[in-house]
Amino acid sequence: MSDVIVKVSKFITDGEIKVLRQYCEGTEVDWNVGGQPADTIWYNRVIQAAQLPITSPIRRLLYSIAARTRRQIETYGTGPLYLQTLQIVKWQKGDNLDPPHADAEHVDPNYPEPHPFPMRHYSALVYINDDYDGGEIYFVNQNLKPKIEPGMLVHFTGKREDLHGVTEVTRGLRYTIPMWFTRDKQFEMEILPEERAL
């Protein structure tokens, strides 16, 4: 796959969007599933799919979306890919992701410490909603800021060529499904046999 930003509209169905939206807005949702540390910006904002109950229909739906995303990315000649991380993330007023970063490489190639996630060869994001202001993903080197649509998939590489950030959310709540894929099977996350068959 060359360094290209791919946008796929209506990647998930209106019915799936509705189910996910209702789940995200539910009063019983634990937004710290997976135990993000309290001193990080991700505390109380992340649901790790692998930590949801095995019987959860939301877990099954997330793994189904991830399987479809993996097949979509593989059409770009990546070779076999394996799901490394699968989440739902909530973005509230004031949240942003700045400065821009790459998911598998440091911005500075001479940075002295190794990157924590060099196995994240490909990144993907599915949008659940768009009724918020701000919260736009942007790609520095491509001078690109895709217009957000519910159900849209955006995928790209983890390389520094695909530096990206998220502008500050100024109104409302932004719900997304971020996923990372690896070429290295040893970094594949927990997937049950029935989820692998999706």
pLDDT in tens, 96-142: 999 999 999 999 999 999 999 999 999 999 999 999 999 999 999 99
pLDDT in tens, 143-170: 999 999 999 999 999 999 999 999 999 9
Buried b (16+ CB within 10 A) or exposed e, 136-164: bbbbbebeeebebebbbbbbbbbbbbbbb
Task: Tell me the domains of the chain and their CATH numbers.
Answer: 6-196 (2.60.120.620)
Output the pTM of the full model.
0.95
